[in-house]
Amino acid sequence: MPSVRDVVVVGAGLSGLMAVYRLKALGIPTIWVIGGGVDRSNSVLAQGGIAAALSPEDSVDAHLQDTVIAGDGLVEEDVARGIISEGAQIVSHLVHLGVPFDKNPDGTLNMTREGAHSRRRILHIKDETGKGMMHYLFKFVSGVEKVRGRLVDLLVEDGEAYGVRVKTNGHTEDIYASAVILATGGYTGMYIHSTGNADQDGVGIALAAHYGAVLRDTEFIQFHPTVFFGGGKAFLITEAVRGEGAILLDSKGERFMVEEHPMAELAPRDIVARAIHRRGGAYLDFRPIQEKGIDIEERFPHIVEVLRKEGIDPLRELVPVYPAAHYYIGGIKVDWWGQSDIKRLMVIGEAASTGLHGANRLASNSLLECVVMGYRSTFRAWWYATQEPHREVPKFESKEYENLSSDGHLKGQMSRHAGIIRNGYGLRKVARKLLSHMENGNLPLGSQRWAQIMLSGATICSGWWRTESRGAHYREDYPEKWKEKKHSHITLKEIRQCLERMGGV
């Protein structure tokens, strides 16, 4: 028998957790699909912190200005102002709730600075902020029914959502609800090297698009500049390290970011990532932090521990770093409340495109967006559940769901031709590869490979259309910006047509 609830939330990261926290407070019967568990979400990997204009020296206007500059012309300022303003209030609530953000000896919040921020406004919990926030807030959602399982389908008919289909313990389960909140994370797994968790397979985004939601700005993939590769795995080193004074050196041991941007190591991430990429890598020097009198082992204990296990002592040695895919800036286009183009389907967190990030996300604005949109989405969910509940639910036929894993060769093609630096020739080459996959068939709906093909196609098509360089999207054959600032929009139906046009060029 299918489960029936007022609201179903899918996704175990911070945005999903905040939605569940708020729904519980509202007394709305909710079921929470948590995949492999909260410790398999990307949120627990977030090191740096959460940005909020809380200090006397800061303001919503200053935070907004930094966000707009980093977003390189595509930030929707009314949306950004709302999230930044409301975010400061919600973060203040979390502080009063007891979330263990680091404090100064006098009891005030200890705030750090990251790339493209003009002020110290990043609240943090050592260098494991996401994990600290998640574990603390999780205790407030005890009693909420949780399901471990993998999302394989959305139950949608005539542009309206009725629930989700989840595969758990070898069988599928339908969960009906008057409102669906999708918080399934972004998709950087289309590249060989990603800082994200392997569970973030893009299926949630692809399913929403499959049923009619619009994808926006999928060409913008943020590459984090400072990633250490040890044991074949990508380990992100937070930007807060540079915020506290660490510098970047080239292979000759010379500092180079001072020549690249007025903010040097704290330039926007796309600029730092391209500078490192052009040099074939760089070295992160922690020693200036010590010279400022900051105890590195106290401030960044997790990073120090991981690097020492890999045979590098950052207190004495340089740390080799290179960029890796980190954040899916685009996503499902949503409104102020997280509402997608599918009625009753809200999309939040990294899966959504709210307009906050523009062409390049400002560091630590992601967790801020998570808490705000997690909170906001519950207002629309409450309305559907209490004022406009489903009266009848159509019968959805059962299906078999085969989960083909993602294709490693395609990840290599995306990394080479649709990564930090792109051009038309490379994008066409990947388009032909994607068409080959589509024509060969065997792409089961809801599988990892299906999502990989569809979302890689969206990135390729949007990147082909954007014949300019802006933010995280850099075309070496079109290095200048357009005078007109435009968002990209694409549906899954249009992706095949676009790839065919590209492949025939």
Q: What's the whole-number average pLDDT of the chain? A: 95
pLDDT: which is higher, 50 or 496: 50
Token pair for residue 331?
Answer: 């996503």
On whether residue 224 sits in a domain, the answer given is: no
Q: What is the pLDDT of residue 220?
A: 98
What's the CATH code of the domain at 464? 1.20.58.100
Q: Which pLDDT tens digit goes with each residue over 284-329? A: 999 999 999 999 999 999 999 999 999 999 999 999 999 999 999 9
Residue 67 to residue 17: CA distance in whole angstroms: 25
Residue 190 to residue 194: CA distance in whole angstroms: 8
Same domain, 319 and 407: no
Domain ranges, residue 490 = 403-503
Q: What is the pLDDT of residue 157?
A: 97
What's the CATH code of the domain at 241? 3.90.700.10
Nearest to 397 by CA among 67, 228, 134, 155: 155
Q: What is the pLDDT of residue 140?
A: 98
Which residues fall within 8 angstroms of residue 234, CB to CB, at 6 or more apart? 193, 194, 195, 227, 228, 324
Q: What is the pLDDT of residue 442?
A: 81
What is the pLDDT averaged over residues 343-369?
98
Dihedrals phi, psi of 69, to nearest 5 degrees:
-65, -45
**269 flagged as catalytic:** yes
Model confidence at 441, pLDDT cuts 50, 70, 90, reads confident
pLDDT of 256 strictly over 90: yes
Q: What is the pLDDT of residue 232?
A: 76
Same domain, 499 and 407: yes
pLDDT of 187 strictly over 90: yes
Number of domains in the chain: 2
Backbone region of residue 290 per phi and psi (left: phi > 0; alpha: psi in -120 to 50; beta: other values): alpha
Nearest to 38 by CA among 145, 138, 186, 150: 138
On whether residue 27 sits in a domain, the answer given is: no
Question: Residue 171 forms beta bridges with which residues?
Answer: 168
pLDDT: which is higher, 485 or 456: 456
Boundary residue ending a domain (323, 355, 388): 323
> Taking a C-beta distance cutoff of 8 angstroms, is the pair 315, 305 a contact?
no
pLDDT of 504 strictly over 70: no
On whether residue 309 sits in a domain, the answer given is: yes
Q: Which pLDDT tens digit goes with each residue over 143-164? A: 999 999 999 999 999 999 999 9
On whether residue 302 sits in a domain, the answer given is: yes
Boundary residue ending a domain (323, 349, 373): 323
Boundary residue ending a domain (323, 350, 372): 323
Residue 358 to residue 73: CA distance in whole angstroms: 7
On whether residue 392 sits in a domain, the answer given is: no
E strand residue ranges, 315-400: 319-328, 331-333, 345-347, 352-353
What is the pLDDT averaged over residues 378-407?
91
What is the pLDDT averaged over residues 226-243?
93
| Coil/strand/helix, residue 301 | helix
Nearest to 351 by CA among 185, 219, 164: 185
Pairing of strands 233-236, 331-333: unpaired
Q: What is the pLDDT of residue 381?
A: 98
Q: What is the pLDDT of residue 352?
A: 98
On whether residue 93 sits in a domain, the answer given is: no
Torsion angle of C-alpha atoms 170, 175, 181, 183, degrees rounded to 10: -10
Q: What is the pLDDT of residue 200?
A: 87
Q: Which pLDDT tens digit goes with each residue over 394-416? A: 989 888 888 889 999 999 999 99
**In this prediction, what percent of the chain has a pLDDT beyond 90?**
90
On whether residue 246 sits in a domain, the answer given is: yes
| Coil/strand/helix, residue 268 | coil
Environment class of 59 (CB within 10 Å of its CB; exposed 0-12, middle 13-18, buried 19+): middle
What is the pLDDT averaged over residues 243-269?
97
Token pair for residue 48?
Answer: 């740096």
> Taking a C-beta distance cutoff of 8 angstroms, is the pair 183, 10 a contact?
yes
On whether residue 432 sits in a domain, the answer given is: yes
Given the residues 121, 216, 269, 274, the one annotated as active site: 269
Token pair for residue 362?
Answer: 């400002």
Torsion angle of C-alpha atoms 323, 328, 329, 335, degrees rounded to 10: -170
Task: Measure Cα distances from 267 to 60, 66, 262, 274, 480 in Å.
Answer: 20, 11, 7, 11, 19
Q: What is the pLDDT of residue 505?
A: 52
Q: What is the pLDDT of residue 215?
A: 97
